[in-house]
Amino acid sequence: LGSTGSIGVNALAVISRFPDRFRVVGLTANNNIEVLTKQVRRFRPVAVAVSHRGSEDLRREVRTRGIQFFDVSEICSLIEHCRPDIVILAISGSSALEPFLVSVQRGIRVAPANKEALVMAGEIIMREARTNGATVIPIDSEQSAIFQCLEGRNREALQRIILTASGGPLYRVPRSGFRNLRVSQILRHPRWKMGKKITVDSATLMNKGLEVIEAKMLFGVPMDRIDVIVHPQAVIHSMVELRDGSILAQLGVTDMRLPIQYALTYPERCDSGLAAMDLLKCRQLTFDRPDLVRFPALSLAFDCARRGGTLPCVMNAANEVAVNSFLEGRLNFLQIYAIVEKVVSKHKNVPRPGLSQIWAADAWAREESRSYLK
């Protein structure tokens, strides 16, 4: 799901290395028709979903090959039609929640590169996964690192999760220079090539805040046992501290194909075809505390995670609206956090919400955010 984005393209590259092991049965995209058409010709899926049903070239390709066509709003129907063994969840934002939930309810292995669904309704998703025997193996490099460090270990031995952050594109920029930053400057991440929304989140450190909540949901760890440290070299993707004081770290090259392949081939380790990391070139590994004055979004995310209920969902929805408005040139960089903080502070939290209450909170937060924009 989301085959034309950065994660989707890398996932298909991994799949191409194992033609005897994997078959692509479904592809979805939002509006990148040209790339999707090429993918359909190469991988010949059973079904395709795209907004507005795509271009005439894509329609012709689909008709010729007898492929089932869905609108991008019908992703859950596509999943039911394809009956996959694995769903790679590479679509961003809250739109991933419904297909994530449907997949785990069907007992399907889900490899999510999406944080927002778990932030919104992580307790519900993980409960459904346990009930239906579905495995959730994260693709995000940080969560994959934690998953790998914990593999085969008794969770009672876990003392602390340590999420690493590169610091983003503004790590060395003083806060006094934040207001006049252009979108093009924000989108130049020093380590990763990602989508626009996640790159902006990396700049505000909201991305790390979402990962904190995601880790809480994925690994069932209370907030007082999750820490964030800045590691600019991005060689260590994350760490876990065990009860005896030992710290286990997962290191690797900054290439998303590694965690993607691990999620697909788990529990096996297969040749990735990538060059191994040269430790002799890693002359220095440094660590720093995140600056919560310059990047208050991380502090806000910790607070929402501790309080729980509908607050994480509201924070996520307000952030989506604010980030999109920044990318459209309607806000300056500092106003992203200002809007998110206002909406969160105004929300009446609902503890232990059901799915309908989560969607209601999401809708309220979006409307409230838009009212500030007006």
pLDDT tens sequence across 30-58: 889 999 999 999 999 999 999 876 677 88
Instruction: Indicate the burial class of 245 (C-beta count within 10 angstroms; 0-12, 13-18, 19 or more).
Output: exposed
| Cα–Cα distance measured from residue 220 to residue 123, given in angstroms and rounded to the nearest whole number | 9
Please give the pLDDT value at position 60.
84
For all residues of the chain together, what is the average pLDDT? 94
Please give the pLDDT value at position 93.
87
| Cα–Cα distance measured from residue 238 to residue 211, given in angstroms and rounded to the nearest whole number | 11
Mean pLDDT of the 331-352 span: 96
Instruction: Indicate the burial class of 202 (C-beta count within 10 angstroms; 0-12, 13-18, 19 or more).
Output: buried
The pLDDT > 90 percentage for the chain reads: 80
What are 249-295's pLDDT values in tens digits?
A: 999 988 999 999 999 999 999 999 999 899 998 889 999 999 999 99
Mean pLDDT of the 130-142 span: 97
pLDDT band at 190 (very low <50, low <70, confident <90, very high): low
Single pTM value for the model: 0.93
Enumerate residues 6+ apart whose C-beta is below 8 A from 358.
120, 121, 124, 310, 313
Contact 246, 164 (CB under 8 A): no
- Long-range contacts at 55-63 (CB < 8 A, ≥ 24 apart): 57/33, 58/33, 61/37
Contact 214, 119 (CB under 8 A): yes
Cα 333 to chain center, whole Å?
21
Mean pLDDT of the 159-181 span: 90
